[in-house]
Amino acid sequence: MTVEASITEKLQKLWTLQQVDSQLDEIGILKGELPMEVADLEDEIAGLDTRCKKLRGGVKEAEQEIAQIQSVAKEAENNIKKYQKQLDEVKNNREYEALQKEIELANLDIQLSEKKMRDAKAKLEVQKDNLAVAEARQEAKQKDLDAKKVELQGIIEKTEAEETRLRNKSIKARDGIEERLLKAYDKTRTTYRNGLAVVTVERNSCGGCFNHVPPQVQLEIGLHKKIIACEHCGRILVDQTIAFPESTVSA
Protein backbone atom coordinates (compact mmCIF):
# COMPACT_ATOMS: atom_id res chain seq x y z
CA MET A 1 0.00 0.00 0.00
CA THR A 2 1.46 3.34 -1.07
CA VAL A 3 1.39 6.07 1.57
CA GLU A 4 0.54 9.45 0.08
CA ALA A 5 3.17 12.11 0.65
CA SER A 6 2.35 14.89 3.07
CA ILE A 7 1.83 18.45 1.85
CA THR A 8 5.22 19.36 3.32
CA GLU A 9 6.92 16.57 1.34
CA LYS A 10 5.11 17.59 -1.83
CA LEU A 11 6.20 21.19 -1.42
CA GLN A 12 9.79 20.10 -0.70
CA LYS A 13 9.85 17.96 -3.84
CA LEU A 14 8.40 20.75 -5.99
CA TRP A 15 10.89 23.26 -4.57
CA THR A 16 13.80 20.87 -5.21
CA LEU A 17 12.62 20.28 -8.78
CA GLN A 18 12.35 24.04 -9.33
CA GLN A 19 15.92 24.61 -8.13
CA VAL A 20 17.29 21.96 -10.52
CA ASP A 21 15.24 23.24 -13.46
CA SER A 22 16.35 26.82 -12.72
CA GLN A 23 19.98 25.69 -13.00
CA LEU A 24 19.13 24.14 -16.37
CA ASP A 25 17.50 27.42 -17.36
CA GLU A 26 20.76 29.23 -16.53
CA ILE A 27 22.59 27.01 -19.02
CA GLY A 28 19.89 27.82 -21.54
CA ILE A 29 20.44 31.53 -20.88
CA LEU A 30 24.18 31.01 -21.44
CA LYS A 31 23.36 29.59 -24.88
CA GLY A 32 21.03 32.53 -25.39
CA GLU A 33 19.25 32.70 -28.72
CA LEU A 34 22.02 30.77 -30.49
CA PRO A 35 20.10 27.48 -31.00
CA MET A 36 17.15 29.38 -32.48
CA GLU A 37 19.44 31.59 -34.57
CA VAL A 38 21.25 28.52 -35.92
CA ALA A 39 17.93 26.86 -36.84
CA ASP A 40 16.65 30.07 -38.50
CA LEU A 41 19.87 30.46 -40.50
CA GLU A 42 19.74 26.83 -41.64
CA ASP A 43 16.16 27.36 -42.84
CA GLU A 44 17.10 30.59 -44.61
CA ILE A 45 20.13 29.00 -46.30
CA ALA A 46 17.97 26.08 -47.46
CA GLY A 47 15.52 28.58 -48.95
CA LEU A 48 18.34 30.49 -50.65
CA ASP A 49 19.75 27.22 -52.02
CA THR A 50 16.36 26.44 -53.57
CA ARG A 51 16.22 29.95 -55.03
CA CYS A 52 19.74 29.68 -56.47
CA LYS A 53 18.90 26.35 -58.12
CA LYS A 54 15.79 27.90 -59.65
CA LEU A 55 17.75 30.93 -60.89
CA ARG A 56 20.48 28.71 -62.37
CA GLY A 57 17.73 26.87 -64.20
CA GLY A 58 16.44 30.24 -65.46
CA VAL A 59 19.91 31.21 -66.67
CA LYS A 60 20.25 27.92 -68.54
CA GLU A 61 16.83 28.34 -70.14
CA ALA A 62 17.67 31.89 -71.23
CA GLU A 63 20.96 30.72 -72.75
CA GLN A 64 19.16 27.93 -74.60
CA GLU A 65 16.58 30.43 -75.86
CA ILE A 66 19.36 32.70 -77.15
CA ALA A 67 21.03 29.77 -78.91
CA GLN A 68 17.73 28.83 -80.53
CA ILE A 69 17.13 32.42 -81.71
CA GLN A 70 20.64 32.58 -83.15
CA SER A 71 19.98 29.33 -85.00
CA VAL A 72 16.76 30.73 -86.51
CA ALA A 73 18.53 33.95 -87.54
CA LYS A 74 21.43 32.01 -89.05
CA GLU A 75 19.03 29.85 -91.04
CA ALA A 76 17.24 32.97 -92.34
CA GLU A 77 20.58 34.50 -93.41
CA ASN A 78 21.51 31.30 -95.25
CA ASN A 79 18.11 31.29 -96.96
CA ILE A 80 18.59 34.89 -98.13
CA LYS A 81 21.95 33.95 -99.68
CA LYS A 82 20.37 30.96 -101.35
CA TYR A 83 17.41 32.96 -102.69
CA GLN A 84 19.68 35.77 -103.95
CA LYS A 85 21.75 33.22 -105.85
CA GLN A 86 18.59 31.78 -107.33
CA LEU A 87 17.54 35.24 -108.56
CA ASP A 88 20.28 35.03 -111.15
CA GLU A 89 18.70 31.92 -112.58
CA VAL A 90 15.02 32.91 -112.74
CA LYS A 91 13.27 32.61 -116.11
CA ASN A 92 10.15 34.67 -115.53
CA ASN A 93 8.63 37.41 -113.34
CA ARG A 94 6.54 34.98 -111.33
CA GLU A 95 9.63 33.11 -110.07
CA TYR A 96 11.41 36.41 -109.45
CA GLU A 97 8.53 37.78 -107.36
CA ALA A 98 8.27 34.49 -105.44
CA LEU A 99 11.97 34.62 -104.53
CA GLN A 100 11.73 38.31 -103.58
CA LYS A 101 8.82 37.38 -101.27
CA GLU A 102 10.90 34.65 -99.65
CA ILE A 103 13.79 37.09 -99.16
CA GLU A 104 11.41 39.60 -97.62
CA LEU A 105 10.03 36.98 -95.22
CA ALA A 106 13.55 35.86 -94.31
CA ASN A 107 14.51 39.49 -93.53
CA LEU A 108 11.42 39.75 -91.31
CA ASP A 109 12.55 36.59 -89.52
CA ILE A 110 15.94 38.19 -88.93
CA GLN A 111 14.35 41.41 -87.59
CA LEU A 112 12.08 39.39 -85.31
CA SER A 113 15.07 37.32 -84.14
CA GLU A 114 16.99 40.51 -83.32
CA LYS A 115 14.10 41.74 -81.15
CA LYS A 116 13.78 38.36 -79.45
CA MET A 117 17.54 38.33 -78.96
CA ARG A 118 17.48 41.70 -77.15
CA ASP A 119 14.65 40.53 -74.90
CA ALA A 120 16.32 37.20 -74.19
CA LYS A 121 19.67 38.83 -73.39
CA ALA A 122 17.95 41.33 -71.08
CA LYS A 123 16.17 38.43 -69.36
CA LEU A 124 19.48 36.56 -69.06
CA GLU A 125 21.17 39.56 -67.43
CA VAL A 126 18.34 39.88 -64.90
CA GLN A 127 18.60 36.18 -64.08
CA LYS A 128 22.38 36.43 -63.68
CA ASP A 129 22.10 39.53 -61.48
CA ASN A 130 19.46 37.88 -59.28
CA LEU A 131 21.59 34.75 -59.06
CA ALA A 132 24.67 36.75 -58.06
CA VAL A 133 22.72 38.52 -55.30
CA ALA A 134 21.22 35.23 -54.03
CA GLU A 135 24.61 33.45 -54.07
CA ALA A 136 26.30 36.35 -52.25
CA ARG A 137 23.54 36.34 -49.63
CA GLN A 138 23.78 32.58 -49.26
CA GLU A 139 27.56 32.79 -48.82
CA ALA A 140 27.24 35.52 -46.18
CA LYS A 141 24.55 33.57 -44.31
CA GLN A 142 26.68 30.43 -44.44
CA LYS A 143 29.63 32.28 -42.89
CA ASP A 144 27.33 33.63 -40.19
CA LEU A 145 25.95 30.13 -39.57
CA ASP A 146 29.42 28.60 -39.35
CA ALA A 147 30.49 31.22 -36.80
CA LYS A 148 27.37 30.72 -34.67
CA LYS A 149 27.76 26.94 -34.81
CA VAL A 150 31.33 27.24 -33.55
CA GLU A 151 30.18 29.55 -30.75
CA LEU A 152 27.31 27.25 -29.79
CA GLN A 153 29.50 24.15 -29.92
CA GLY A 154 31.97 25.83 -27.58
CA ILE A 155 29.22 26.49 -25.05
CA ILE A 156 27.84 22.96 -25.43
CA GLU A 157 31.27 21.43 -24.81
CA LYS A 158 31.67 23.49 -21.64
CA THR A 159 28.20 22.78 -20.28
CA GLU A 160 27.34 19.36 -21.71
CA ALA A 161 28.41 17.31 -18.66
CA GLU A 162 26.70 19.66 -16.21
CA GLU A 163 23.57 19.84 -18.34
CA THR A 164 23.37 16.04 -18.55
CA ARG A 165 23.84 15.76 -14.80
CA LEU A 166 21.10 18.32 -14.14
CA ARG A 167 18.69 16.73 -16.61
CA ASN A 168 19.10 13.37 -14.91
CA LYS A 169 18.66 15.08 -11.55
CA SER A 170 15.50 16.80 -12.83
CA ILE A 171 14.05 13.48 -14.01
CA LYS A 172 14.86 11.92 -10.62
CA ALA A 173 13.35 14.91 -8.79
CA ARG A 174 10.05 14.32 -10.60
CA ASP A 175 9.71 10.89 -9.03
CA GLY A 176 7.07 10.87 -6.35
CA ILE A 177 5.33 14.05 -7.53
CA GLU A 178 1.78 13.35 -8.62
CA GLU A 179 0.96 13.92 -12.28
CA ARG A 180 -1.60 16.63 -11.53
CA LEU A 181 1.01 18.76 -9.77
CA LEU A 182 3.62 18.12 -12.46
CA LYS A 183 1.23 19.25 -15.19
CA ALA A 184 0.45 22.45 -13.28
CA TYR A 185 4.16 22.98 -12.60
CA ASP A 186 5.18 22.49 -16.25
CA LYS A 187 2.36 24.70 -17.51
CA THR A 188 3.34 27.52 -15.16
CA ARG A 189 7.01 27.20 -16.11
CA THR A 190 6.22 27.60 -19.79
CA THR A 191 3.95 30.57 -19.06
CA TYR A 192 6.73 32.76 -17.67
CA ARG A 193 10.07 33.57 -19.31
CA ASN A 194 12.02 33.07 -16.08
CA GLY A 195 10.61 29.54 -15.75
CA LEU A 196 9.61 30.02 -12.11
CA ALA A 197 6.66 27.91 -11.01
CA VAL A 198 7.53 27.56 -7.30
CA VAL A 199 8.60 30.66 -5.37
CA THR A 200 8.97 31.88 -1.82
CA VAL A 201 7.13 34.69 -0.11
CA GLU A 202 9.61 37.54 0.20
CA ARG A 203 8.86 40.74 2.10
CA ASN A 204 5.18 39.83 2.19
CA SER A 205 5.11 39.49 -1.58
CA CYS A 206 5.06 36.71 -4.16
CA GLY A 207 8.62 35.95 -5.26
CA GLY A 208 7.42 35.59 -8.84
CA CYS A 209 5.10 38.51 -9.61
CA PHE A 210 5.89 40.61 -6.47
CA ASN A 211 2.23 41.19 -5.68
CA HIS A 212 1.27 41.44 -2.00
CA VAL A 213 0.44 38.21 -0.19
CA PRO A 214 -2.08 38.83 2.65
CA PRO A 215 -0.99 37.85 6.21
CA GLN A 216 -3.75 35.21 6.46
CA VAL A 217 -2.52 33.54 3.24
CA GLN A 218 1.06 33.62 4.54
CA LEU A 219 -0.12 31.90 7.72
CA GLU A 220 -1.83 29.17 5.68
CA ILE A 221 1.32 28.71 3.60
CA GLY A 222 3.34 28.15 6.75
CA LEU A 223 0.89 25.54 8.08
CA HIS A 224 1.53 23.23 5.09
CA LYS A 225 -2.05 21.96 5.15
CA LYS A 226 -2.61 22.58 1.45
CA ILE A 227 -0.72 23.73 -1.63
CA ILE A 228 -1.36 27.42 -2.17
CA ALA A 229 -0.83 29.31 -5.41
CA CYS A 230 -0.45 33.07 -5.86
CA GLU A 231 -3.86 34.52 -6.71
CA HIS A 232 -2.20 36.86 -9.21
CA CYS A 233 0.28 34.70 -11.18
CA GLY A 234 -0.63 31.12 -10.24
CA ARG A 235 2.84 30.21 -8.97
CA ILE A 236 3.04 27.80 -6.04
CA LEU A 237 4.05 29.62 -2.86
CA VAL A 238 6.35 28.14 -0.21
CA ASP A 239 7.67 29.51 3.06
CA GLN A 240 11.24 29.69 4.35
CA THR A 241 11.06 26.30 6.11
CA ILE A 242 10.61 24.66 2.69
CA ALA A 243 13.12 26.79 0.81
CA PHE A 244 15.83 26.93 3.46
CA PRO A 245 15.20 24.11 5.96
CA GLU A 246 18.77 24.08 7.26
CA SER A 247 18.84 27.79 8.11
CA THR A 248 15.40 27.45 9.72
CA VAL A 249 16.57 24.58 11.91
CA SER A 250 19.79 26.32 12.92
CA ALA A 251 17.85 29.46 13.80
pLDDT in tens, 15-30: 999 999 999 999 988 8
**The predicted structure's pLDDT at residue 90:** 82
> The dihedral of CA 30, 33, 37, 40: what is its sign?
positive
pLDDT above 80 (res 251): no
Give me the CATH number covering residue 238.
1.10.287.1490
Residue 217 lies in a domain: yes
Q: Which of residues 130, 148, 173 is at a domain's end? A: 173
If asked whether residues 132 and 95 sit together in one domain, one would say: yes
If asked whether residues 140 and 230 sit together in one domain, one would say: no
Show the 3-state SS of 43-98.
Answer: HHHHHHHHHHHHHHHHHHHHHHHHHHHHHHHHHHHHHHHHHHHHHCCCCCHHHHHH
Residue 1 lies in a domain: no
| Higher-pLDDT residue of 240, 247 | 240
Structural domain of 26: 7-30+178-250
Strands 236-238 and 205-206: unpaired
Strands (E), the chain: 198-202, 205-206, 236-238
Q: Which of residues 173, 197, 222 is at a domain's end? A: 173
pLDDT in tens, 197-242: 999 999 999 999 999 999 999 999 999 999 999 999 999 999 999 9
If asked whether residues 49 and 158 sit together in one domain, one would say: yes
Q: Which of residues 173, 192, 218 is at a domain's end? A: 173
Closest CA relative to residue 29, chosen from 155, 218, 150: 155
If asked whether residues 16 and 67 sit together in one domain, one would say: no
If asked whether residues 167 and 244 sit together in one domain, one would say: no
Give me the CATH number covering residue 62.
1.10.287.1700
If asked whether residues 159 and 134 sit together in one domain, one would say: yes
If asked whether residues 74 and 23 sit together in one domain, one would say: no
If asked whether residues 66 and 165 sit together in one domain, one would say: yes
Give 88's pLDDT tier (boundaries 50, 70, 90).
confident
